[in-house]
Amino acid sequence: MTPRELRTQQTLAFVVDVLGGRRRVLEVGCGRGEVARALAARGLAVTALDLALPDPQPAPNVSYVELDFLAFRGPPFDAILFTSSLHHIAPLENAIVHASELLAPGGVLVVDDFDLERPDHTTLAWYYETQELLAAAGLYDHHRLDPGTDAMARWRDSHAHDPPLHTGVEMRTAIAARLDSLAVRPAPYLYRYIASGLPPDERGGAIAAHVLATEERRIAEGSLAAVGLRIVAA
């Protein structure tokens, strides 16, 4: 398994678990379409949307759309999935209203994202030290290392954006104001950043799997913060 396949597998396991048999899915922020194609392979009808589609490989039951989400119009969907994308979409409140309008009765909104404000200093120290150790061993792209020495400053500087990225509190609040049955699940997430800089082969996949297992174990122990944010709302 490659690092990219590992990331797809983790998202897929979460999404399939919460879809509950719903078949018509809109994925917002589909990227290269790995999750969309994996869902379609399970028999779902997937519309895969992104501002830019770098690798829209044709696949049965997948329709690609290159467009801003707020400009998208389509038939009602049983589920709308934001894959690491909702923190970018502005205005946030407009995005949630638009999503609710695109959902069919009984539909579900699913968010697989991260909480910008969740990591503490200890968590970020582990994150950067892991990257630096792998880079020193020639197993990580050193160009992906955030500059600086202070972990919190490095994290904040690397996530500076105009408009600002939405925090976990902001995303949860906006969704709760419009939708019901809100469920929030913490999850590991930093392994995804690290996986992106590893060799894109099985060796890199093995390292990424070890980083994920370490992050999961330390979250369970309470020594790392769970940066991943998973939200399900009806």
pLDDT at 189: 98
Identify the band that residue 182 occupies on the pLDDT scale cut at 50, 70 and 90. Answer: confident
Q: Could you tell me which of 103, 87, 113 has the C-alpha nearest to residue 19? A: 103
pLDDT above 90 covers a percentage of the chain that reads 96
At the top level of CATH, which class does the domain 3-120+131-233 belong to? alpha beta
**Each residue's pLDDT tens digit, 41-83:** 999 999 999 999 998 999 999 999 999 999 999 999 999 999 9
The model carries a pTM of 0.94
Mean pLDDT for the chain? 96
pLDDT at 166: 98
Would you list the domain boundaries of the chain? 3-120+131-233
pLDDT at 118: 97
**b vs e for 141-150, b when ≥16 Cβ sit within 10 Å of the residue's Cβ?**
eeeebbeeee
Exposure of 63 by Cβ count < 10 A (0-12 exposed, 13-18 middle, 19+ buried)?
middle
d(CA 207, CA 227): 20
